[in-house]
Structures are given as C-alpha cells and as structure tokens.
Structure 1
C-alpha cells in the first residue's frame, strides 16, 4: 500500500507551473496633452478635456436622432459584429474545453459477445460441454492526468487569454463599426452640401452665360467671351456627376453597415443637422492603454503566448497519469458482479521524454519567439494608439484654423463675384475677371463645406482613438 508521505513529492510537484511569470512590456509614454478650448471665429467652440476619457454613447453628442437610430440598427444587424460575437462564444467554449481536460475523465462501457469455439480447442468455460455461449462485460474507467509542471494549467491560461482577446476584438469591432457609420454619415452629408453648392454655382454660371449672350447680341462682347463662359459652365457641370456617385456610394455603405442592402431607403441627417460636440475627451496615456480594445487585445495575446511557452517547457519534463477501471464479466448479464466475476485495476504511468529529434526544444524556442513577437505587437499597438490620439487632437486644432480661412475665403469670394457680375452687367469689366471670380466662389463654397465636415470627422477620430466604447456595449445586441 502506498504510504501518505510518499504522495507528498507528487503533491508539491503538482503545484509547480513552469513558464515566464513576468510579462512586463515597457512602452514609452508620450507627454500628456494639455486641456484647452478650440475657439474658431467662424464656428462653434470645443473644449478638450471637459469629459472623462470614456464617453458612453458618444455618437449622441452630435445631436441627431437619425444618427442615433442608424447606430442602434448597426449594433443590432451588422454582420461583422455578429461574426465577432460568434468568435467570442467559440473562444469561450474552447476555454471551457481546456479547463475540462484537466478534470478526471470517467467513461462507462458495456460489451456483449456471442462466441462458438471449436471442440478441438480448450474450452475456457467451466462446463467443458458448452461450446456456444455469450459473454457480457461492463466496466467503469477513470483517467486522471496529474499536472506536475503546469502543462494543463498553461493550456487553460492560454485558452482563457484567447477568449479575452476575442472579447476585446469584439469591442474593437463595435467601436470601428460605429465610427465607420458615423464617418459615412458625415461624408454623405458633406457630399450633399457640396452637391447643393455645385448646383448653385451651375445656376449662377448659367445666368452669366445668358447675360453674356445678351451682351453679344447687343455687340458689347464677342463670341469668344461667350464661349469662355460656356466652357466654365460645362466644367462645373462635369463635377456634379462624380459628387453624386460618391454620395450614392456613401448611402450604400451606410445601408450595408446597418445590415441592409444598398439602395434601402434610410433617413440620413444633413450637415446642418449634425452638431459639433461641445466637449471632447482628453485621455492620459495610461488611460488610452487601459481603454483601447485593440491594445487590450494585444496585451491578452502576450498572456496567451506566455502560457504557450509554459506548455512547451512542461512538454520536456516528466508527465504522470493515473488510470483505473473496474467492472465485471460473466456469461449471464445479471451475474457480472456476483461471486468472483468483478475485476479492477489501477495503473500509474510516469513518462520522461528522452529523444524526439530536438522537436520539443525547438517547439519551446518557437513559443518563446512568439512571445517576443506578441510583446512587440503590444508595444506597437500602444504607440499607434498614442499616435491616433495625437493626430486627432492636432487635426481638431488645425481644423479650426482651416475653417476660419475657408469662411473668410467664401465670404470674400461671394462679395467679389457679386461686384464682378454687376460690373460686367455695366460693361466695366471683361469676361476674364468674371471667370476668375466665378471659379473662386465655387471653390470657396466647397472648401467651406469640407472644413465644416473635417471638424466633425476629427471629433469622431478622437472618440475612437480614446477608446470611447462602453464596456457593456455587447449587451446592446
């Protein structure tokens, strides 16, 4: 009989888990951004750092019920999110599989056999005159792998880390889907505004063509002047079709993100209905690392890779298994457990790898290389997050300057065109000045629309870069 004290070394070994335990991956932190106000002279002001780093339902800050409805539909019907959720469920179930593999495995079996032996052979039964008989066997088998060096525990940790990666990837997919939708809505609204400005410019140029044709009939200008203005009109008209095509593409993209087929009628807000968020988050570097789902996913990848290293190390060390089975055998079904028919066995096995052609050593080295790659990817993800925030804040500040310039240019171009048109009507100026003024006014109106849209776009970018996705967003589906 095995004495209790002889089990002590096995108990101590079973609590040993090999592998890397220090997963510190230093990342250079940028200086914290300075809170402050962005106050353009020609647009709404924005305050950086006036709200927490995480802004739940940040899209609602644009003040559009139509946008809110589109986001809700996207969260409910987007196919990419459905795939990410399915991947999360799969990873969670695989983690449970890995955990279950470390528990004792119990199997029950029953076998019935009908046999006829030759009279010339020795009969295995007590009655030597019986040559045709049935044989019944029932048994219960229990197998238990003793995890001496943590191979199984490391597999469980790796599977749990993979599930954690999938959870963060789902949050990243949700954040990306929402940001892509809001961006597509902004782009669509900006294109609609550009189309309206282009149509207004076309109408102005048609009026100018009619004016020059009238003056040509009176002999004030020549055919070349009329042709030049007609060329300018045709040039502006040619820009309308590409804008309309881009608008239709954005409308189809919005429908697709929301889980609908392109061409589905959807209520979309105009640029005037999208209000610029008055307050924006300004996260500290540590908050960015803690909140960004892609950075958190990269961190979980490091955990999984470290656990895989532990599994590879444990594969080179001894492994112990205990197997036991018990049952009964008889020629009669109800006699299997009577008399001397029951049986049992207990087997313990200890295996130490000796020679595998250096396979196990190279598997460990491959796992260690994968861990180094995961650490580098984590650092890259964190640095990219810092860059995204820096770009978004720089964009917001320069957008305000661009908006002021675009607003001044639009106002000046509009005044210039009005004065030039009046002077052309009076015959004081030629068509060259009119062409220049008309072209400048058309370009200025489009640039003003683009400058307004850029502030909305960079606001979305800052929300996304800061990791502003509610932790319980998955429950919204």
Structure 2
C-alpha cells in the first residue's frame, strides 16, 4: 500500500513520465530491499607468525588443539571426575543459561523484521448526559478488529540489530565452550595437584618413620657407649625436621581436595588417592606424540579468540544501526474488523470497518544526540577491534609460554630423576658405612636429608610437567565440545536440578 501511495504521488505530480511508470514498482522494491547501512564486517588484517617458537610445531602428528578431551586425558580416574564435573558444575550451568537467553534475544530482534499481527476486542456501554440531551438513553458498542503494524526496514537498522544479536549469541556459545575448556583443565590441574600433595605427604610419613627408627637406634647406640649424646641430638633434630612438614602437607591435601569438590559440584564426593610411593609416575595422561599446529589455526580453535571476533562483528553491526538514526523511519499500520451495537450481530458484514495508515518520522533537531550516538558506536567498534587484536596477541604468546614450560619440565624431570637415583645410592652407602662404624651419623643424616628433599622435588616436578601439558592443551583450544555435546550437558544439568 505504501509503495502504491508513493507511486501515485510521483505520477500525479509529473515526476514520472508514462513510459517509465512501469519501472516505479521495481525501483521501490529495490529500495525496500536495499543493503543495510554501515560497513560490512571484514576480519582485521593481522600478520601472524608462520609458526611458534618451538620445534613442537614441526612434528608431523595430530594437532593437539583438535583432540577431544577423552583422547588427551587418558587417565580413567580423571575421566570420571571430568564427566561428573561437566554434568554437575554450577558455574557451567550458569554460562549455559546465558547462552539460552542469548538465543532468545536473537528471536526477539529478528521479529522486528516482520509485521506484527494482533487482535483487539472491546465492549462499551454508555448513557448521554441529561443536560445535553433531551432524551438520554443507553448505548452499546462492540468491536472486533485484527491489527497489523510494520516498520519498513529500508535502511537496514533491524537487519543490523539482528546481525549484532546473532554475533552476541555466537559469542555466548564460544563463552560456554571456553567455560568447558576451563572447567576440564581446572579439574585435571586440581586433581594432579592433589595427587602430588598426597604423594609428598606419603613421602614425609615414610621419612618420619625411618628417622624415628634412626633416632631410637642412636639412643640404643649411645646407651651402649658407641656414640655420643651429640649424635643422638642430631638424630632427634632430623626426626623433628621431617615431622614438622606433616601439618602443612595435611592442610594442603585437604584444601586441594575441597577445591576439587567445588568443581565437581558436590559436598561429599568420595575422592580416593592412588596408592603407592610414586602416585604420579605411572599416570598415562596424553598421547606420546603430537603437534601444536600453526598460529593461524589458533583463530578457529580458541573460543576466547572466536568470542572476541564475534564481539567485533556485533560492534560493527551497531555502527550501522547508529547510522540509520540519521534517516527517516517508515511505518505502516492498519486494522480490519467489525463494529456493532448488538453483540449478536458482531459478524454482520454491514458492520465492517477498516483502516490503513502510513507514517514517516524524520529527525530534524536533537541537540547532537544522534551524532553522538554514532560516534559512540564507532569508538566501541574501535575498542572491540583493539580487544580482538589483544586477544590474538596474548593467545599466541600464551601458546609459546606453554610450550617453553613443557620443554623445561621435560628436562627438569630427567635431571631430578637422576638426582633421586644418586641420592638413593648415596643413602644406601652411607647407611652401610654408618652401621659398620666407618662413618659418622652426620654423613648418614646428610644423605637422608638430600634424599628426602630430592623425592619431594621430584613429585613436584612430575606435577609441573602434567600441569604444563594441561596448560598447553588449554592454550591451543583443546577440549571444545560439539553443539550436541553442549546440549547433552545442559539437559543433564537441568534434569539433575529438577
């Protein structure tokens, strides 16, 4: 109707000659379907390095960042914990809720592209004033109308809004995957930190037991006149030095256990530490060979980079929305229905009523508000652009740091294992020499002290190697779930909460 009205105005005023009148509808149709205002999004140009600063990227193996978490975390006990956390973690469900809300916002914004249909029904009973009417009487009025309203999106404001909200939805989806990756890596990190403390606590207990026997033996040797009281005191000091480490280690193991239970979303999850003197030695964590890929792959693997880009897309679309405020808005509204004074004849054709309205609203004076809003949108786009570049830059060096940390931990384990082996041999020989009366107790205590510290450090170095590999996997975007897997997590959480 609006198109026909404009065509009529053009023709009646001689603005369109008769031979070209047939092209007016075509021209108006093109106008109504014109491109949206504002720039179309283009990914910012960034000169990423061709490879990372490490030879891990050169090995012809599977890209670590594309590996599923069950293919990376091969420890069956850890897999159980991660699966439990994915179904029970409260923070993860909160992020999932925000994703559902973002999807609904896409629907709300997209609805503005279409006409709005409604139904109105009304009834009125009134009486005229006896002052103004010589024969006042009661009157009834009933109406039933269908209504329609539509804002023509000539300049693409609603399309840009829809584009921005869809980008926000994708950003929320990436945020959920980022939360999943973080949760998986946090569970794995807390788990291995807990095992490390359990192992160091066990080492300390064993050392205390050994030194207690050495102290008792030294007392017996003094009683028999073999050694002096000074050597007994030295044995007592070594025993107490090992014993004093137990309270702190006991506190740490309980605190780390509590941190893990928070991630698992339960008060009393039954955690059972592995048994053995070297809890972290036999753990199978990840594939023996892998590749980290090239930096350009990071743009599509890391959810934080993808979320930052979606925020940039939304900011770009909002620039177009702000630009359309400079131009007129066109609306069409109408109604079709019946009106009668008797409810029984509401559907009588003689009571038919209809209306059709077209409106134009154009800005004339707003004290610079529209220009200021446009400037705000442009600056917010600039900020989003800088944030995206910063995220990519940080992500690149985060991968590099994780690779360097992994390499360092590999070298540290080899050196520390050699140190523990040497310390064990030193302790064995010192024990033999002491019991045979060849050397003093100082040599034995020095050897035991070195072994104790070396074993504690070896446990920590093994833990650091596991954590460095977890960090590398996380920095490459490893552990991303498919939409179906994310949906399964949500449905599981919702059923558990209900």
5+ residue gaps, structure 2, are 8-21, 490-498
CA deviation after TM superposition for structure 1 residue 471, in Å: 3.9
Checking the alignment, whether the CA contact within 8 Å between 2:403 and 2:472 is kept in structure 1 is: yes
5+ residue gaps, structure 1, are 39-46, 123-127
User: 1:132-187 CA deviation, whole Å, 9 max, x = no partner?
Assistant: 12111222221110012111111101110110001101111111111111111111
Checking the alignment, whether the CA contact within 8 Å between 1:281 and 1:466 is kept in structure 2 is: no
Match of 2:174 in 1: 168
User: 1:103-125 CA deviation, whole Å, 9 max, x = no partner?
Assistant: 10111111111101123324xxx
The one of 81, 87, 97 aligned to 1:76? 87
Checking the alignment, whether the CA contact within 8 Å between 2:31 and 2:154 is kept in structure 1 is: yes
Rounded Cα–Cα distance in structure 2 between residues aligned with 1:19 and 1:388: 35
Match of 1:66 in 2: 77
What is the DSSP-based 3-state SS (H/G/I as helix, E as strand, rest coil) of the residue aligned with 1:16? coil
Rounded Cα–Cα distance in structure 1 between residues aligned with 2:205 and 2:430: 20
Match of 1:96 in 2: 107
CA deviation after TM superposition for structure 1 residue 266, in Å: 3.1
Match of 2:379 in 1: 369
Rounded Cα–Cα distance in structure 2 between residues aligned with 1:54 and 1:455: 18
Rounded Cα–Cα distance in structure 1 between residues aligned with 2:266 and 2:282: 23
Rounded Cα–Cα distance in structure 1 between residues aligned with 2:53 and 2:378: 40
Determine if the alignment matches structure 1 residue 25 to structure 2 residue 25. no
Match of 1:335 in 2: 345
Match of 1:44 in 2: none
The one of 225, 228, 232 aligned to 1:219? 225
CA deviation after TM superposition for structure 1 residue 300, in Å: 0.4
Paired residue total? 463
Rounded Cα–Cα distance in structure 1 between residues aligned with 2:253 and 2:95: 29
What is the DSSP-based 3-state SS (H/G/I as helix, E as strand, rest coil) of the residue aligned with 2:85? helix
Q: Which moved more, 1:10-19 or 1:369-378?
A: 10-19
Match of 2:469 in 1: 459
Rounded Cα–Cα distance in structure 2 between residues aligned with 1:56 and 1:226: 58
The one of 471, 474, 477 aligned to 2:486? 474
Rounded Cα–Cα distance in structure 1 between residues aligned with 2:351 and 2:73: 80
Rounded Cα–Cα distance in structure 1 between residues aligned with 2:179 and 2:349: 66
Rounded Cα–Cα distance in structure 2 between residues aligned with 1:5 and 1:37: 64
Using the size of structure 1 for normalisation, the TM-score is 0.90
Rounded Cα–Cα distance in structure 2 between residues aligned with 1:37 and 1:286: 16
- Taking only aligned residues, the RMSD between alpha carbons, in angstroms, comes to 2.4
Alignment of 1:251-266 (within 5 A): 251-261=257-267, 263-266=268-271
Rounded Cα–Cα distance in structure 1 between residues aligned with 2:70 and 2:259: 18
Match of 1:42 in 2: none
Rounded Cα–Cα distance in structure 2 between residues aligned with 1:401 and 1:54: 23
Inter-CA distance 85–155: structure 2 relative to 1 (3 Å threshold): same
The one of 77, 93, 111 aligned to 2:122? 111
Checking the alignment, whether the CA contact within 8 Å between 2:147 and 2:336 is kept in structure 1 is: yes
Inter-CA distance 49–253: structure 2 relative to 1 (3 Å threshold): farther
Rounded Cα–Cα distance in structure 1 between residues aligned with 2:76 and 2:321: 52
Rounded Cα–Cα distance in structure 2 between residues aligned with 1:73 and 1:274: 20
The one of 185, 193, 199 aligned to 1:179? 185
Rounded Cα–Cα distance in structure 1 between residues aligned with 2:294 and 2:150: 49
Determine if the alignment matches structure 1 residue 443 to structure 2 residue 448. no
Match of 1:12 in 2: 30
Using the size of structure 2 for normalisation, the TM-score is 0.87
Match of 2:146 in 1: 140
Q: Which moved more, 1:54-63 or 1:228-237?
A: 54-63
Determine if the alignment matches structure 1 residue 384 to structure 2 residue 384. no
Alignment of 1:220-369 (within 5 A): 220-261=226-267, 263-269=268-274, 270-277=279-286, 278-336=288-346, 338=348, 341-369=351-379
